[in-house]
Amino acid sequence: MSDTLSTSLSTPSNGPGRPKDQLKRQAILDAAKQLFLQQGYEGTSMDAIASAAGVSKLTVYSHFTDKETLFACAVAAKCEEQLPATYFELAADVPIEASLLAIGRGFNTLVNSDESLALQRLMTAQGGQNLQLAQLFFNAGPQRMLDAMHKLLEQACQRGQLQIDNPARAAEHFFCLIRGGCNFRLLIGLCEPLSGSAAEEHVSDVVGLFLRAYRASS
């Protein structure tokens, strides 16, 4: 991912202290998420996004350089809703189990949400036809979460809370375990998402399994 795109994903283009601009930015992101899911990436134009957001096309381009950047930012914004960056900050007074539970709950809610499922189906339907779009999606969503989890696990190892030879691989293991079999059944319409106590039990089981595998020996 380019430095320009990476900056666009993490910081608004209009600086702090401009609440009206931030409302417009959010309206553009909301419109983009809806239209990309309804009409696909190729079928969605910047004109249509501007119209749905109630802003000019110039305003869309002033916040987001091009459609690729806007798509990546929409994916990142969806991830940020359920997994804000603060979840991956390992506070000194918070047990590693609490951090993993918070991340697990957030990811479980995110990956099984209607928007996320629709986006996964959209990307799968591309079937490798647009590798650049696939890379944009992966960088903006899954890769950002994997990188954040990797850093958190490394920090936990440095503090003696966990003992992991390959934190990057362990990060993938964690998210794959949270996704579980239920997510695939959801994708093909065979079940409803886990909720309430069932969702909490699933996340707790995964965190317990993860800790049994990687908790540092006393």
* Cα–Cα distance for residue pair 154/151, rounded to 1 Å: 5
d(CA 131, CA 19): 36
Does 3-76 carry CATH code 3.40.190.10?
A: no
Q: Output the tens digit of pLDDT for each of the chain's 218 residues.
A: 444 444 445 444 444 445 668 899 999 999 999 999 888 888 999 999 999 999 999 999 999 999 999 999 999 998 998 899 999 999 888 899 999 999 999 999 999 999 999 999 988 887 678 888 889 899 999 999 999 999 999 999 999 999 999 999 999 999 999 999 999 999 999 999 989 999 999 999 999 999 999 998 86
Q: Which CATH architecture has domain 83-214?
A: Orthogonal Bundle (1.10)
pLDDT on residue 218: 66
Please give the structure tokens belonging to residue 47. Answer: 């004109």
Q: Note whether 191 and 119 are within 8 A (CB).
A: no
Per domain, the residue ranges of the chain are 3-76, 83-214
Question: Is the distance from CB of 35 to CB of 52 less than 8 angstroms?
Answer: yes
What is the number of residues in the chain? 218
pLDDT at 125: 83
Q: What are phi and psi of 165, to 5 degrees?
A: -75, -35
Cα 92–chain centre separation: 25
Q: Are 36 and 71 in contact (CB under 8 A)?
A: yes
**207 with 100: CB under 8 angstroms?**
yes
Closest CA to 209 of 164, 177, 182, 168: 177
At 5 the pLDDT is 43
